Structure 1
C-alpha cells in the first residue's frame, strides 16, 4: 500500500548522493507533489569517519533492499547506531519498507526514531508529514493532527493541509476537512498537488 505519494523520489535521490559522494551532510528538503522542488545542504570536511559511515549506510541500504529478515535487522542496527543524516535516511527507508507491507505500527516507530536523529527543520518536517500519514492509516486521526501542528514552516502549508484534510475526513468532520483542503489550494502549491486537493474537495459530501 502506498502511503507516501510525494517524497520518495527526493529521499531516493538524496540517498544516492550520499552513497556516491561519501560526505557528512546536514540536509534540508523542501518538497512538491510528484516532483523535486529542491533541497539545501552544506557539507563538512570529508574524513575517514564520514567515508566509513557512507560505506556502512550503503551496505545497510542494500541489505534492506533484499527484503529478508537479516536485511531488515541490519538496517535497524545501523539506524539505531547512527544519530546523523545517514541514520535518518535509514530510518526513513525502514518506515517506507514497513508501510509498503502494511506494517504501520513498525513504520511509526521508525519515523519517531528519525525525528530524534536530526535537528534540520525541513528534514524533521518531511518526517513528521510521513508520520502523520501513517497515523491516519492506523486510525489515529487526533495523533496525526497533533503531529501536523509541529510543522510550522510556510513552505509546507499545502502538504500539511492535504494530510490534515485526510485526517479530518477520517474523523467524519467534512466541514473542517473542506476548510483544510481550501487552505491548501490557497497556498498555491505545485499543479499536481493543487489538482489533488481540488479532487478531494469535489469528492467531499456537500
Structure 2
C-alpha cells in the first residue's frame, strides 16, 4: 500500500482512481473520503505521539544530566519504549555515559539498538560512526570496519575515513591507514579535521 506524504498527493491518487475506475465511482468516493479522514487522523496521532515522546525524553534526559541514580534506568526504559528519533537520541546519550565509565559492552548495546531504530541517513551515519569507535575500544576491528560501511553521505567522508584509518592502523596496516587518511583529506573537511588528518599522516611518515 502506498504511503502519501501530502494531502495533495493523496487527492491526485483519488482522481486517478476515478478516471481508471468510472464504473466504481461511488465506491471510489467513499474510499477517498475515508482515506483522507484516516490520513488526517494519522497525522494528528503521530504529532501527539511525538509531542509526548519529546516531553518524556526531556524528563529522562534531565535525570541523567542531574546525575540522579534513577536517570540511567529511566533512559534505558525510554529507549526500549520509543522506536523513533527520540529513542535514538536517548540511546546515544546512554552510550556516551557508558563509554565515559568504560563500560564499552553496554555502550555497544545501546548503539546497536539505536542502529536498528534510526530511519534518517544522517542520524544512522552518526550512530554507526560512534558504534565503530566503541568497537575499536573492544578490539573488534573487523566489526568496526563493517560498521563504517554504513556511514553514508559526502559530509561524513572525512570522519569515516579518519576512524577507518585508526582501525587499520590498530590492525597493523599502515599502508591502508595512510590511504584512508588521504581520502579523508581529499574530501575537503573542516580545517580542524584537516589538521588532525595531516598530523596522523605525518606521524606515519616519520
TM category, shorter: 0.7 to 0.9
Deviations 1:29-65 (A, max 9, x none): xxxxxxxxxxxxxxx7684433221111111101122
Q: CA RMSD in A?
A: 1.6
Aligned to 1:108: 108
The offset of 1:92, in angstroms, is 0.5
Q: TM-score, normalised by structure 1?
A: 0.74
Deviations along 1:102-128, one digit per CA (max 9) or x if unpaired, are: 111111110011111121111000100
Distance 1:150 1:197 in 2: 21
Matches within 5 A, 1:71-150: 71-150=71-150
Find the aligned partners of 1:104 and 1:168 in 2 and give their Cα distance: 20
Q: 2:172 & 2:47 partners in 1: Cα distance?
A: 53
Highest relative contact order (Cα 8 Å, sep 6+), 1 or 2?
Answer: 1
1:163 aligns with 2:173: no
Q: Which has the larger share of helix?
A: 2
Tell me what 2:32 maps to.
Answer: none
- Which stretches of structure 1, 4 residues or more, deviate above 6 A after TM superposition? none
Q: Which of the two has greater strand per residue?
A: 1
CA 1:151–1:195: 2 relative to 1, 3 Å:
same
Give distance in 2, aligned partners of 1:163 and 1:67.
Answer: 30
Rounded Cα–Cα distance in structure 2 between residues aligned with 1:151 and 1:48: 31
Rg larger for: 2
Conserved 8 A contact 1:63-1:71: yes
SS at match of 2:117: coil
Question: Mean alpha-carbon deviation: is it higher for 133-142 or for 65-74?
Answer: 65-74
- Taking the aligned partners of 2:134 and 2:160, their CA distance within structure 1 comes to 14
Does residue 201 (structure 1) correspond to residue 169 (structure 2)? The answer is: no
Unaligned runs of 5+ in 1: 1-43
Contact 2:121 2:152 in 1 (8 A): no
Residues 201, 68 of structure 1: alpha-carbon distance in 2 compared, 3 angstrom cutoff: same
What is the CA–CA distance in structure 2 between the aligned matches of 1:86 and 1:154, rounded to whole Å?
25
Of 59-68 and 73-82, more deviation after overlay is shown by 59-68
Report the Cα offset of residue 185 of structure 1. Answer: 0.7
Q: Is the 8 A contact 2:122 2:152 kept in 1?
A: no
State how many pairs are aligned.
Answer: 163
Structure-2 separation of matches of 1:105 and 1:69 = 20
